[in-house]
Amino acid sequence: MKTTINTDYFRMTDEEFFFFCESNRHLHIERETNGTITIMDEPSGFDTSTFNGEVNYQLQDWNKKERQGKVTDSNGGYFLPDGSMKAPDAAWVSYERLKQVAEEELKRFPHLSPEFVIEIKSPSDSLISLQNKMEAYMQNDVQLGWLIDPDNEIISIYRANGERDFHKGFTGKLSGENVLKGFELNLEELKRI
């Protein structure tokens, strides 16, 4: 279940918001551009968890070999340029971008956009809200994003230049293109979950 908190009467600073998230670690919390807080307090379930784990494993495995940046899971949030704070299911940010923020800021939610994000639709997610989230990522300097719908085996590919593509079926491999050079998500592994 998702709960939204309207912040018309109060607005947390970024620091207050971080401490609010820290005090509620058992919840997945994000903030919209207008300050509205969204709380996802429902566990995603076993299937979604193993699916997320496989996607993050493959991304992390590639990153360990390439050593060009850092991978975060859904616990790693980012304050985006539009003032929102998003925590994608998986993300990759280059060392080049990480150099733009103070080391101390990396202990919280850094003010930067990852180059690459993945959102995975769970049974409780609205596809439209996830599509809107992906559009917001692209408007905030994310270079490549994948929205994965496990139930229908559809991957929506979002690019910074506005192009959108779709990949139907968990067959073959999906390329990280020029953003994640050499990364290929093995979709066959996702079928086994």
> Which sequence spans correspond to the domains of the chain?
45-191
Query: What's the confidence (pLDDT) of residue 48?
Result: 82
DSSP code per residue over 164-177? EEEEESS-SEEE-T
- d(CA 87, CA 79) in angstroms, rounded, equals 9
DSSP assignment, residue 83? S
Query: What's the confidence (pLDDT) of residue 172?
Result: 95
SS3 69: strand
Burial category of 151 from C-beta neighbours within 10 Å (exposed 0-12, middle 13-18, buried 19 and up): exposed
45-191: CATH architecture = Alpha-Beta Complex (3.90)
Q: Which helix (H) or strand (E) holds 26?
A: none
**One digit per residue, pLDDT tens: the chain, 193 residues?**
566 666 655 678 888 888 887 888 777 777 888 888 888 755 667 888 888 999 999 999 999 999 999 999 988 999 999 999 999 999 999 999 999 999 999 999 999 999 999 999 988 888 999 999 999 999 999 999 999 999 999 999 999 999 999 999 999 999 999 999 999 999 999 986 6
- d(CA 9, CA 26) in angstroms, rounded, equals 25
CB 32 within 8 A of CB 5: no
CB 106 within 8 A of CB 99: no
Among 181, 71, 74, which residue's Cα sits nearest to residue 120? 74
User: Does this model's pTM top 0.85?
Assistant: yes
Query: What's the confidence (pLDDT) of residue 123?
Result: 85
